[in-house]
Amino acid sequence: MRASINRPPTPDAEEEPEREPTLQEIINIKMIESGEKEKLMELLRERLIECGWRDEMKALCRAYARKKGRNNVTVDDLIDVITPKGRASVPDSVKAELLQRIRSFLMAAAL
């Protein structure tokens, strides 16, 4: 450690311990490396389109844009308004299917 009269000691770069990745980070890395994450994302897209969720979200966005005025709405505004509604309205069957696929992946990967 280097010290000075005017400031507290500054740790040297070599002295900083390396942070261990969390289990969540390890799982995410394994899913990306195996291509499973992309497969799950595609499955999610398909299921949300099939159940009409996507059309429902599109309609909510259009209604919000009409209410506020097309020129007064930003993408960030839409995200702030629609995200909570979108997350809450994902069908339980879609959530259950994705959860099952993730569990199967984890069992196969022996994590």
Q: Quote the CA–CA distance of 5 and 83 in Å, as a whole number.
A: 51
CATH T-level assignment (fold) for domain 53-111? Serum Albumin; Chain A, Domain 1 (1.10.246)
Residues 36-78 have pLDDT tens digits of: 999 999 999 999 999 999 999 999 999 999 999 988 999 999 9
List the structure tokens of 88. Answer: 């809450």
Across 61-90, b (16+ Cβ under 10 Å) vs e yields: beeeeeeeeeeebeeeebeebeeeebeeee
Q: Is 10 helix (H, G, I), strand (E, B) or coil?
A: strand
Q: Quote the CA–CA distance of 3 and 82 in Å, as a whole number.
A: 52
Per-residue pLDDT averaged across 98-104, rounded?
Answer: 95
At residue 14 the predicted structure's pLDDT band, cuts being 50, 70 and 90, is low
Q: Quote the CA–CA distance of 7 and 29 in Å, as a whole number.
A: 40
How much is the pTM? 0.72
8 A C-beta contact, residue 30 and residue 109: yes
